[in-house]
Chain A
Amino acid sequence: MAADSTNTTTGSSPDGNPLALAEQLEQLNAARKVVLQDSTYYDRIVKGVLPIIGPRALLPLRRWGAEFLAESLATPVLTMREKENITVAVLDTLRGLLDGAAEDAIVLKASVAAAASAYPVALRWIINNSYHKESWEQMSAIKSRILQIWDGAPAPVRLSCVKFAQRVVLAQTASNGMEQKTNGLDISLNMIPANHPLLDPRQLEAEATGLLDRMLSVLQDNSSDALLVNATLNCLSILIRTRPNTTNRILNAVLNFNPLKLANSPMTSKTRVLVKSLEKTTRMLLTHLLRRDPNNPMAGRIHQYIERMMRLRAEMFDEASRKRALVDQAAGDAKRQKMEGAPQFTVPPLGPGPHSLAGVFTLTNNPGLQAFDATQLPANLAAKISVKTLMTLDQQTLDLAVAGIRDRLTSIYAAGAAAAAAAQPAVINAATAPLGVDEDDDDDYEPDLTPAEDTEQILNKLDNAPPEEPTEPAADAAALALGSFNLPPPPTLDPEAAAKLSQAAASRVFGPLSVLKESGALRKPRAGINRLAASSYDRDSWLTFITRLATRSAAGLEDVGGGGGGIKTEDAGVAPDHNNHNRGPPGMLSLGDTIRELLYTYILEDWRRRIEIAVAWLCEEWYNDQLTKRASTSLGAESGALHYERWTLRLVDGFLSYITAQDKVLTRFLAEIPELSRAVLGRLKVLCEDPTTVQLALTTLLYLVMMRPPVREIALDTVAEIWTEFEDARPLAAKYLVKWRPGFIESQTRGGPGSDVAPGNGMAIAT
């Protein structure tokens, strides 16, 4: 047999009868297709192929056979009963394949996998058919053979051995009944009667404990064999969750495991993959457990471990990125460029054709530098560079440059008229750009995941209005003209154009956001209540500025007659103005509302991370609404337009279309905004239409009930409404109602709508 197998390769066997072999494999594959199409043939075909694939068959047949057995014993299409039949029939062949003295690794790997599927089924069979001694003897022999080859086997076989051991542990420890009842996962120690003639539960449990320790030894040794560690970690979840006796032992092993140990060795491309893999796999298992069972007594330790891992990882990455930044700096040879540029200085005349404003003033010949978009530099940096350069520049060079530019402008002016004519179509192109707006959309076919595209999209939308950066050649020629040239009068502004311009202005307010840095961890220690908002030039302070610009300033600016500087006078101007624009023609938004609209879009682009901004903004709105109310009462005037409620509702509606069951951020959002109304909480009912988000909605409400006493009643009303309106959400809603509004459910089920918290009540107030 050994001679046969060494000379045989898949598909092309030089010895024996290759044609017969190929034919045989073809027939076997045809048989496999038959069972895949109709599972009723499994029994007949599995039993039929056993003589062909036994330990004495050629290697390709043994490989095929072992893999077919593994597949058949694992298939989800067969019932437990059907599997028992097949399992008992294949044990002999399986044992033969595993006993082969120098068996091929692929055969072994598949055979052990098949044995892992067979084990619980065989155990169940023996539990119910204790007379069938031989089967159990076969299975026990297979088990001891596998446990014997485990340590010395090649990696793929060891993987299967780990999994086999896991199935033995699963079958021989007591279950808490939380597992799925498929594929024998539910077979456990609970099923074995104490007085079984063949099986001794205590002995089986002891064996399981021993095997579990053997499995966990890779973790205890802090092994860096990532394959084996991953294979082990990824099959532990079901043990921890459904076999309570194993939980502590396993979690202790996992929590003492250091997945970052390899990180100290030299980083090759392979070790990088391994370190990341070990760390992530460990973290996935632990977060998975926390999510499934947040009340686990070990949850605290798991949290600590995860946090420590995140910190260590962050430190590692931080170091890496710091190094990279230095390298980048060294690479840009700024000094050499200066040396080349300075000595002989000439300004090349411009060629024919239209030139951009930037082109006219570009002095360098270096195409790389010409392509550089100086507008990308933050204004403060550009200013610094300019001042420094002017200070060190020698007078002669400056004169040369000024003269050169003057010559260029003269020549352009000469060609001015022609250029003006040529410019017209370009203007029209810019105006018909809306298609371009949508084109960007395709970059972002799942908007909640790739926010970066949306920023561009918005900017593009606003580009329709004024051409700010692509200066039209016509305008160039005109604006740059020398001598007695008068600027043409600007086109008269109609309200529509004015609105467009103000939109553009508003959009520019958002420009710096993409450039500004996140306020670093260094600046975190804040001066408490004494701190000045927006005093540091980072993204946070810019956002503070934007929210206040939206909420406080706009009204005053628009109402020219109102004038004044202080907040109070501004607010006095709010009322008439806002009433006005609310009834005005659509599309004519005030500057404040334009900024609000943009802020809204900005938040929704990446709402999970920008929830803090939303909260800060709503706080400002709320504050402003309070001032408006106070001002209007003190003046005795009609109350001014209020924004808080309207934008809260829009934001909530915005989030809800993207929300998934994991988005706890919603709870946080509702907990932090300054005021909640029935309408806002009513929006949560939408979540109850989707069974996956019911829990999120109700836990959010529960949180509000527990932590925000002022809204407790309306939160409970909402829970009550959910209870009334959504059949699916009832069990959970009922749980909370029983605790927080005792008697409600009884009154509902007994008394009907007569009770004091009738669902209609809340709705009426809400609208």
Chain B
Amino acid sequence: METANGSAAPAQNGQQGDESGFKLKFCTVCASNQNRSMEGHLRLAQASYPVISFGTGSLVRLPGPTVTQPNVYKFNQTSYDSIYRELEAKDPQLYRANGLLNMLGRNRVIKWGPERWQDWQVGMPRVKHEKDQGSVGMESGVPDVVITCEERCWDAVVDDLLNRGAPLNRPVHVINIDIKDNHKDASVGGGAIVDLADSLNKAAMEERDKVGPAAFDAGGAASRASFDERVPEILGEWQERWPDLPSTWTLSWF
């Protein structure tokens, strides 16, 4: 672990090269790919994890002047910047006061625009996303862990994966963390996501550091347990640290 930590440090500063230390690849998901998933995206990228993010809603919905007049945008076709400029033109005072402009301002430096989970072609190389934060190490476009921020989104992701029929034969851990959809809870949730990511990555690194004949091995079960096996246990321990963020897990397939 010592050497692994030491070698991971330069990558954090230089934002380059995933070879210096093993990094799990993450994907964060919420309804509109605006608040919670983007907070998670940013925080994971800052912790130098490869990360992408999506929304599972049919449209991007942001609050408008009243409950019944939301601002609605299309996924994949609207940039954070254009939403920012539109809302700023509509009512700068309102959208500054409710934090939307602040959020969009943050989002537009993370990536181009909100992306829809259901429209994402898993495994399509993401080589044209170099400017996105967290793009380093994500070139293959296939994450190891998907973290959703709401039960409905977890349901949508798991259902969509069943629908796709698992063409890539690649396992993926899908974890939900229930985060309330407001700026404050998203920020707390972002910290919790990074905490989970660190715990998972530590286990994955330990698995990689173990070398040699793994098959037919009769060694101590706990120490030999693989990363995949340890995920529920790690999540259970994480849940005790974050009792206010109920979680769900499954292993699914891309």
CB-CB < 8 A to B159: which residues of A? 284, 287-288, 291
Q: Mark A93-106, 1 if CB is under 8 A from B, else 0.
A: 00000000111111
Asked if B5 CB lies within 8 Å of chain A CBs, one says no
Beta-carbon nearest neighbor of B99 in chain A: A442
Contact, CB under 8 Å: B169 / A270: no
Q: Is A156 an interface residue (CB 8 A)?
A: yes
User: Could you tell me the distance between the alpha carbons of A237 and B229 in the complex, rounded to whole angstroms?
Assistant: 23
Which of A226, A441, A454 makes the CB contact (< 8 A) with B98?
A: A441
Interface residue? B155 (CB, 8 A): yes
In the bound complex, do residue A103 and residue B182 qualify as a contact, i.e. CB atoms below 8 Å apart? no
Rounded to whole angstroms, the CA-CA distance of A12 and B248 in the bound complex is 36
Minimum C-beta distance from A231 to chain B (A): 5
Please tell me the number of chain B residues within 8 Å of chain A, measured between CB atoms.
88
B-side contacts of A156, CB under 8 Å: 171, 226-229
Q: Inside 8 A of A274's CB, which chain B residues have their CB?
A: 232
- CB neighbours (8 Å) of A235 from chain B are 166, 253
B94 touches A438 (CB 8 A): yes
Q: Residue among B93, B169, B227 with the most chain A CB within 10 A?
A: B169
**How distant is the Cα of A509 from the Cα of B225 in the complex, in angstroms?**
59
Interface membership of chain B positions 158-192, coded 1 if the CB is closer than 8 angstroms to chain A and 0 otherwise: 11011111111111000000001111100000000
Across the interface, which residues of A come within 8 angstroms of B31, CB to CB?
446, 449
Known interface pairs A116-B169, A183-B168, A273-B236; A154-B226 also in contact (CB < 8 Å): yes
Q: Are B167 and A453 in contact (CB under 8 A)?
A: no
B226: chain A residues within 8 A (beta carbon): 105, 154-156
Assess whether A485 is interfacial by the CB under 8 Å rule: no
Majority DSSP secondary structure for residues of A touching B: helix
Q: A444–B124 contact, CB under 8 A?
A: no
**Cα–Cα distance between A457 and B97 once the two chains are bound (Å):** 14
Contact segment of A70-78, A733-741, A743-751 = A70-78
CA separation between A108 and B216, bound complex, in Å?
A: 12
Contact with B along A1-44 (1 / 0, CB 8 A): 01001111111100000000000011001001100110000000
Please indicate the chain B residues that have their CB under 8 angstroms from the CB of A183 in the complex.
167-168
CB < 8 Å neighbour of A273 from B70, B213, B235: B235
B150 neighbours in A (Cβ, 8 Å): 449
Q: Which of A275-283, A333-341, A406-414, A717-725 contacts B (4 or more CB under 8 A)?
A: A275-283
Q: Is the CB of A446 within 8 A of B251?
A: no
The answer to whether A522 has its CB under 8 Å from any CB of chain B is no
How many residues belonging to A are interface residues under a CB distance threshold of 8 Å?
105
Query: 1/0 per residue B33-74: CB within 8 Å of A?
Result: 011000000000000000000000110011100011110100
Are B214 and A443 in contact, with the CB atoms below 8 A?
no
Please tell me which one of the listed residues A36, A108, A657 contacts residue B125 in the complex, with CB atoms under 8 A apart. Answer: A36
Q: A71-B140, A442-B99 are in contact. Are A660 and B58 (CB under 8 A)?
A: yes
A445 within 8 A of partner (CB): yes
Instruction: Tell me the bound Cα distance from A552 to B95 in angstroms.
Output: 39
| Contact residues, B183-236 vs A (CB, 8 A) | 183-184, 207-209, 211-217, 224-229, 231-233, 235-236
Does B121 make an interface contact (CB < 8 A)? yes
B82 on the A face (CB < 8 A): no
A185 at interface (Cβ–Cβ under 8 A)?
yes
Docked-complex contact A273 and B249, CB < 8 angstroms? yes
The chain A residue sitting closest to B240, CB to CB, is A269
Q: Is B7 an interface residue (CB 8 A)?
A: yes
Q: Per a CB cutoff under 8 Å, which of A227, A281, A453, A692 touches B229?
A: A227
Best-buried of B127, B166, B181, B247 by chain A (most CB within 10 Å): B166
Select one of A2, A11, A37, A182 contacting B167, CB under 8 A: A182
Which residues of B (112-143) have their CB < 8 Å from a CB of A? 121-125, 127, 139-140, 142
Also in contact, A9 and B209, with CB within 8 A (given A75-B123, A269-B236, A446-B181): yes
A130: CB under 8 A from chain B? Answer: no
Contact B228 A159 (CB under 8 A): yes
Shortest A260–chain B CB gap in Å is 15
Given A37-B125, A442-B98, decide whether A449 and B68 contact each other with a Cβ distance below 8 A: no
A759 contacts chain B at the CB level, 8 A cutoff: no
Chain A 154-171, CB-CB to B under 8 Å as 1, else 0, gives 111101100110110000
| Known pairs A104-B211, A105-B215, A445-B62; A269 contacts B239 (CB<8 A) | yes
Q: How far is the CB of B225 from chain A (nearest CB, A)?
A: 8
Residues of B contacting A167 with CB < 8 Å?
169
The listed residue (B100, B125, B127, B167) touching A185 by CB distance below 8 A is: B167
Q: From B164, which residue of chain A is reached at the shortest CB distance?
A: A180
In the A-B complex, the 10 residue pairs with the smallest Cβ-Cβ separation, listed nearest first, are: A102-B213, A269-B236, A183-B167, A105-B214, A238-B165, A442-B98, A442-B99, A443-B182, A237-B162, A36-B125
24 of the cross-chain contacts (CB-CB < 8 Å) are A29-B19, A36-B127, A75-B125, A77-B124, A155-B226, A156-B171, A156-B227, A157-B214, A163-B171, A167-B169, A183-B167, A227-B229, A227-B232, A230-B252, A231-B171, A235-B166, A273-B235, A284-B158, A438-B94, A443-B184, A446-B31, A449-B150, A453-B182, A457-B67
Known: A104-B211, A156-B229. 11 other contacts (CB 8 A): A9-B211, A77-B125, A153-B215, A155-B225, A227-B251, A235-B253, A237-B162, A272-B239, A443-B182, A446-B32, A657-B68
Chain A residues packing against B (C-beta within 8 Å): 2, 5-12, 25-26, 29, 32-33, 36-37, 59, 70-71, 74-77, 101-106, 108, 113, 116-117, 149, 152-157, 159-160, 163-164, 166-167, 179-180, 182-185, 226-227, 230-231, 234-235, 237-238, 242, 268-274, 276-277, 280-281, 284-285, 287-288, 291-292, 435, 438-450, 453-454, 457, 601, 604-605, 654, 657-658, 660-661, 690, 692
